[in-house]
């Protein structure tokens, strides 16, 4: 993370000769100072054509114009390369809505990172299907919305969640051990903007009680997976994963406890990559420029 | 961690034939149900005689007597084996005093574990040389003491810290990124009761600014070390360590950020081992029965 | 690993009060010096009754009798506790038959450990469905048997493998990246004696081409699993697992390459645990006293 | 690693605006297809000016000329940017001379990788101060030179090693657990070409018997470090490091055994980075484009 204000261009396009030269040529022409740059060529497979991925950080005050003009001037280049692209300003904080239930570890962890500005974001609100953390969240000066979810009220509840997210101009929604399955409508409304932390090393142990499944199978490591939420449960593009060693003496309850340490760090890492525009999706996979 | 109430016997003694038989024979004779047991024989070296280490958890209600009587009846055996020993009751919560400065990560992490009862302890108070976290700590219903430390007031300040620790009947003091060096008097008063988290993989990078030292040397992993505090700075017995991978693109500030994730998990693991009587010291080393 | 000759008793039995006292009492009575001891109580679940697991190393020359007499004298105790048990002598080398195909990494790795006596075993022979490594194996002075396997000859081929294993008095068979599925007869004939290394973090990616499956799913870590072979493909009790980090820039071929480093270390660790009688099975799970 | 033949340009130069545009513009102008590219800007510190690092793989047959002409045409650009640079052809195998003593693990490991073409190199010869592995090396068809080293013959011995290295047109010398300290003359003659594997996590435990030092200090992880050899013992630029967990039950001999697994994988990774021109040095540090 650089101290100076910078713009982050992230893009993907069909692979061809000269992409880097074209993009960095444009930046150099305007005396743009590149702080960091990453490129990746995803080789053609039977399923996919070859595609090129780009992430560039340019020092803001090295350019003779602001972001609006950058966008305008860069557009013809992007179009000629058939790019999917976006450019963000490090001075504009991302707005992250947290979704929680009754478990504390990811919530405490994210709020600690937020209050120390390690995560330099706005948290417009926290939404929960329980009121367990109302006082804790509000003490931090963050609005808390209690939106109960029952089998009968599910549709309305998630309509309300979606309304709150949009009303607070959220850029990103984080399921920080939120124990409800989002409605397909909500998933579809914000693709690539909703992150979940799943408490297993996917694709092992999809669904409920993964630590109990892990205990039954007798695995020697347990893990956690941060992924984008799609309508298919636990099947979205994986952003980050990690594992921790266990042994025969660990009960499912011990695994739950160990797992929390992995869950919160994997979620925090995945969220950081996402917020810094380091994650580009390609079908059901991700390119993560760490 | 077992759900039933249990007693934890931890002990060390000179190695000889028959120690386990003797100790477990006593327990079996009284129908004591052993939930967990660990033994270790530390081989003789030029520096040290062979020594035996023991940790046993006995289900409390399997025994026909309470802890006081256990202690009385066991004493002759312990004496015949020349044991250093202690026995603790899982129903009696340990009292842990936290020492913090201006960094948030270990404090938030430990309070999250405390409030969810993952760490089943009492926190009689938090002591700090700054008042940064006064509101946060008090919101949790925990007393907060601001004890400033300057070069001139050092002696009185640590006398005050010692007074507060003893007044609150603390069992353990945790330096949760407390940025002052304790007085030799305080270290000497509570040997084996004060835990520190040092932000390097000791013995590398002793002292100040270890991440900057690591950056200068160009190492590819950085670490953290939880150890008992002794009068020798960063030289006490090591309880737990871990590392995280970095690379050439990481600045000292990035390392500080990565390091926090290692520091808090290493401290939490080390503290748990200590609180569950899993750590037995032997000279400047530890036996940790995980 | 201790330098002095020792006996390793490993056992499991239904849990009850006094097991350790009973077993170690017997050893102490004969002045047996315990070098290392491990105990584990597997809590009752819906699927299983509570069971107790034991592993004890006794210094051979501390006892007044040899292994045959130990067995005789210990038998009544074992019977009264309804034990499954075995006791092995560190002076008697285990006989390990290696099965390989065309990949070199596990074979070179195991032979390096064998020739330096890090693995203190006999290798009576190497069996392969190809003759690729005939010269290399024979240079080490180890007999090499080429037993081709085709769809038509499968039954006879594995009958031949079984004959060779039994003729060479093998204790353990190691599938060191052997690319054929053993016959059910062979699996059934030597339960708990055949180890395989599977090139995925089971239960993910069972069956063929796991690295290609991992690539398709976009996971961020790949792994390997050492397990006992049973008639159910890749479903046997897991002994050891580990993982390694990959990213979007890694092709399936890169994963194959990275995977080899994990496969050989996981297999070597799992094999060592097995040979040192550290692995006790319980249903489809293992207790591994590391 | 790409299957098609490619050229690898690696370079560093003082940082300024437009470097990437300039270099990739040259490549694009000649229709060069970039397979992989990495860039790093090392920020200015008190010790060092800002410097830029580049590594680019270009598909060989996408260019209208061969490497000689590439070098000629690129030279003016490189000079204008004050570059240190080199460009290598994936079709030209690097020549790696191995230095060993009596330990087998790194030698077996490297020869396994070589014979399977995982390491696509030439090994013109193996040099050793013992004749332990003469037969093994020669069985692989590789010349073996026994060059004994004693206190008296040290100067001549390393003059002979240097002669053998140069006579065999070595690109890289690998100290694969070679237990002698090279002469300053040899170090000076081939800077950045000699790799060593040190059996500790440097800067901890410099010098002899690091595992015994680690045992004395009671650390909970041990490691290994692959670094370039300079005249200062164990002080050269670090290429790669890793660690493995140990505990109180591990003797120095156990650590030696665990350490071997880390040493061989760290050496193999570091060597691969070096051979693929992924390592660029900057003072006493390295940039490693993995």
Provide, as residue numbers in chain B, all residues whose Cβ is less than 8 Å from the Cβ of D218: 237-238, 284-286
Task: Check pLDDT > 80 for residue A178.
Answer: yes
Which chains are within 8 Å of C by 3+ CB pairs?
A: A, B, D
Name, in order, each residue with C-beta under 8 angstroms of C11's C-beta and a sequence gap of 6 or more.
C23, C53, C54, C55, C78, C83, C84, C85, C86, C280
* CB atoms inside a 10 Å sphere around CB B269: 19
Over its C-alpha atoms, chain D yields an Rg (Å, rounded) of 21
Identify the closest residue of chain B to A116 by CA–CA distance: B104
Q: What are phi and psi of D43, to 5 degrees?
A: -65, 150
Chain C residue with the nearest C-alpha to that of B40: C36
Shortest alpha-carbon distance between residue B145 and chain A (Å): 20
Instruction: Tell me how far apart the alpha carbons of residues B225 and B267 are, in angstroms, rounded to a whole number.
Output: 8
Lateral strand order in the sheet of C194-198: C144-146, C126-128, C96-100, C172-175, C194-198, C221-228, C238-245
The mean predicted confidence, pLDDT, of chain A is 95
Of A192, A145, A188, A184, nearest to A165 (Cα)? Answer: A145
Binary contact (D1, C105; C-beta < 8 A)? no
Q: Which residue has the tokens 């997210």?
A: A165
B67 prior amide bond cis, ω within 30? no
Q: Are strands A84-89 and A51-59 parallel, antiparallel or unpaired?
A: unpaired
Closest residue in C to A235 (Cα) is: C217
User: Cα(C189)–Cα(C185) distance, rounded to whole angstroms?
Assistant: 6
Q: Are A95 and A74 in contact (CB under 8 A)?
A: no
DSSP category for residue C154: H
Q: Render each residue's pLDDT in chain C as its tens digit; 290 residues.
A: 567 899 999 999 999 999 999 999 999 999 999 999 999 998 777 666 789 999 999 999 999 999 999 999 999 999 999 999 999 999 999 999 999 999 999 999 999 999 999 999 999 999 999 999 999 999 999 999 999 999 999 999 999 999 999 999 999 999 999 999 999 999 999 999 999 999 999 999 988 899 999 999 999 999 999 999 998 888 899 999 999 999 999 999 999 999 999 999 999 999 999 999 999 999 999 999 99
Residue B263, both tokens: 């520091």
What residue in A sits closest to B254 (Cα-Cα)?
Answer: A1
**Res. B1: pLDDT tops 70:** no
What is the tens place of the pLDDT at every residue in D231-255? 888 889 999 999 999 999 999 999 9
Interface of B with C in 141-160 (CB under 8 A): none
Q: Are A35 and A58 in contact (CB under 8 A)?
A: yes
Average pLDDT over chain D reads 95
With b meaning 16 or more CB within 10 Å and e meaning fewer, what string describes A233-272?
A: ebbbbbbbbbbbebebbbbbebbbbbbbbbbbbbbbbbbb
The shortest CB-CB distance from D104 to any of C107, C115, C257 is to C115
For C171-218, the pLDDT digits (tens) are 999 999 999 999 999 999 999 999 999 999 999 998 889 999 999 999
The answer for residues whose C-beta is within 8 angstroms of residue D8's C-beta and 6 or more apart is D55, D56, D57, D87, D88, D90, D276, D277
Are the beta carbons of A17 and D28 separated by less than 8 Å? Answer: yes
Three-state DSSP string of A51-111: EEEEEEEEEHHHCCCCHHHHHHHHHHHHHHCCCEEEEEECCCCCEEEEEECCCCHHHHHHH
Kindly state the DSSP code that residue D183 receives in the 8-state scheme: P
Q: Are A277 and A8 in contact (CB under 8 A)?
A: yes
- Calpha distance C11→C83 (Å, rounded): 6
Nearest residue to B265 via CA among B128, B122, B112: B112
Predicted local distance difference test score (pLDDT) of residue D1: 55
CA–CA min distance C153, chain A (Å): 34
At residue B77's C-alpha, the angle toward residues B73 and B81, to 5°, is 155
Q: Select which of C234, C254, C261, C277 is catalytic.
A: C234
Question: What Rg, from alpha-carbon coordinates, does chain A have?
Answer: 21
Report CA dihedral (D198, D202, D205, D210) to the nearest 10 degrees.
-30
- Find the catalytic residue in D234, D242, D254, D261: D234
Express each pLDDT in B62-91 by its tens digit: 999 999 999 999 999 999 999 999 999 999
- Environment class of D139 (CB within 10 Å of its CB; exposed 0-12, middle 13-18, buried 19+): middle
Q: Where is average pLDDT lowest: A44-53, B93-102, B193-202, C266-275?
A: A44-53
User: What is the reported pLDDT for D272?
Assistant: 98
Answer whether B174's CB lies under 8 Å from B96's CB.
Answer: yes
A57 forms bridges with which residues in the sheet?
A: A8, A36
Inform me whether the pLDDT recorded for B46 exceeds 70.
no
The distance between the two most distant Cα atoms of chain C, rounded to a whole number of Å, is 63
d(CA A152, CA A205): 28
Tokens describing residue B87: 């026995």
Q: Which of B104, B113, B115 has the CB atom closest to A112's CB atom?
A: B104
Min Cα separation A11/chain D (Å): 16
Answer whether B127's CB lies under 8 Å from B158's CB: no
Instruction: Render pLDDT for D9-47 as a digit per residue (tens, 0 to 9).
Output: 999 999 999 999 999 999 999 999 999 999 999 877 766
CATH number for domain A6-89, candidates 3.40.50.970, 3.30.70.260, 3.30.70.20, 3.40.50.720: 3.30.70.260
Domain C96-288 has CATH 1.10.10.10: no
Q: How many CA atoms lie within 13 A of B278 on its CB side?
A: 17
Q: Give the span between the Cα atoms of C96 and C194, in whole angstroms.
A: 10
Backbone torsions φ then ψ of C135, nearest 5 degrees: -65, -45
Residue B47 scores a pLDDT above 70: no
Q: What is the DSSP letter of C47?
A: S
Q: Rg of the Cα trace of chain C?
A: 21
Residue B11 and residue B68: Cα distance in Å, rounded? 17
Q: Do the chains contact at D221 and B240, CB–CB below 8 Å? A: no
Q: What is the pLDDT of residue C46?
A: 67
Question: From CA B28, how far away is CA B21, in angstroms rounded?
Answer: 10
Contacts (Cβ under 8 Å, ≥6 apart) of B8: B55, B56, B57, B87, B88, B90, B276, B277
| Alpha-carbon span D56 to A164, nearest angstrom | 47
Backbone angles phi, psi at D116, to 5 degrees: -90, 5
Q: Is a pLDDT exceeding 70 seen at residue B37?
A: yes
Which residues on C lie below 8 Å from A223 (Cβ)? 221
Q: How far is CA C196 from CA C214, C240, D130, in A?
A: 20, 11, 36
- In sequence order, what are the residues at sequence separation of 6 or more whose Cβ sits closer than 8 angstroms to the Cβ of residue B224? B197, B198, B199, B200, B201, B241, B242, B243, B259, B262, B263, B266, B267
| CA A152 to each of CA A157, C176, C247, D94: distance values in angstroms, whole numbers, following the listed order | 9, 55, 42, 68
C242 counts as catalytic: no
Neighbour count for residue A130 (Cβ, 10 Å):
14
Is A39 within 8 Å of chain D by CB? Answer: yes
What's the full length of chain C, in residues? 290
All structural domains of chain C with their residue ranges: 6-89, 96-288
- D111 at interface of C, judged by CB pairs closer than 8 A: yes
Query: Do B21 and C24 make contact, defined as CB atoms within 8 angstroms?
Result: yes
Question: Which pLDDT does position B44 carry in this prediction?
Answer: 74
Chain B closest-CA separation from residue C16 CA (Å)? 8
Q: How confident is the model at residue A49 (pLDDT cuts 50, 70, 90)?
A: confident
**Distance (Å) of CA C172 to CA C154, C223, C288:** 21, 24, 17
Q: Do D1 and C253 touch (CB under 8 A)?
A: yes
* Integer CA distances (angstroms), A200 to B12, B43, B190, C37, D117, in order: 39, 40, 41, 33, 36
pLDDT at B15: 94
The set of chains that have 3 or more CB pairs under 8 A with B is A, C, D
| Among A42-46, A265-269, C105-109, the least confident range | A42-46
Query: Residue holding tokens 């006996």?
Result: C7
Binding-face residues of D in 210-249 toward C, CB within 8 A? 249
Query: What mean pLDDT do residues B250-257 have?
Result: 94
> What residues pair up with C145 in beta bridges, in sequence order?
C127
DSSP state letters, C74-138? HHHHHHHTT-EEEEEETTS--BEEEEE-S--HHHHHHHHHHHTTSS--B---EEESS-TTHHHHH
Q: Which backbone phi and psi does A281 adopt, to 5 degrees?
A: -90, 150
Q: What is residue A3's predicted lDDT score, i.e. its pLDDT?
A: 73
B286 interfacial to chain D (CB closer than 8 Å): yes
User: Tens digits of per-residue pLDDT, A64-87?
Assistant: 999 999 999 999 999 999 999 999
Q: From CA B98, how far away is CA B172, in angstroms rounded?
A: 9
The SS3 call for residue A179 is: coil
CA nearest to A29 within chain D: D18
Give the closest-approach CA distance of B66 to chain D in angstroms: 32
Please report the DSSP string for D221-237 in residue order. Answer: EEEEEEEE--SSTT-SP
Residue B212's closest CA among B253, B179, B242?
B253
């Amino acid at each position: 993370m650089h101290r100076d204000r910078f713009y982050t261009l992230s893009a993907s396009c069909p692979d061809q000769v000269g992409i880097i030269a074209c993009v960095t040529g444009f930046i150099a022409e305007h005396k743009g100072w590149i702080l960091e740059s990453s490129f990746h060529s995803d080789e053609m497979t039977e399923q996919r054509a070859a595609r090129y991925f780009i992430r560039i950080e340019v020092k803001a005050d090295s350019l003779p114009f602001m972001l609006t003009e950058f966008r305008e001037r860069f557009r013809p280049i992007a179009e000629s390369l058939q790019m999917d692209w976006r450019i963000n300003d490090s001075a504009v904080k991302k707005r992250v809505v947290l979704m929680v239930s009754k478990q504390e570890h990811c919530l405490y962890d994210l709020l600690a990172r937020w209050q120390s500005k390690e995560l330099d974001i706005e948290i417009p609100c926290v939404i929960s299907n329980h009121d367990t953390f109302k006082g804790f969240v509000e003490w931090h000066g963050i609005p808390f919305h209690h939106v109960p979810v029952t089998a009968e009220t599910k549709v309305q509840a998630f309509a309300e969640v979606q309304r709150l997210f949009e009303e607070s101009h959220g850029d990103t929604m984080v399921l920080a051990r939120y124990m409800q399955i989002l409605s397909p409508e909500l998933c579809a409304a914000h693709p690539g903007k909703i992150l979940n932390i799943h408490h297993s090393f996917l694709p092992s142990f999809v669904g409920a009680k993964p630590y109990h499944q892990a205990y039954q199978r007798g695995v020697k490591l347990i893990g956690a997976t941060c992924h984008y939420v799609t309508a298919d449960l636990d099947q979205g593009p994986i952003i980050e994963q990690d594992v921790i060693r266990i042994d025969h003496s660990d009960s499912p309850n011990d695994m739950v406890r160990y797992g929390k340490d992995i869950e919160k760090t994997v979620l925090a890492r995945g969220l950081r990559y996402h917020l810094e525009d380091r994650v580009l999706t390609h079908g059901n996979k991700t390119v993560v420029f760490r």
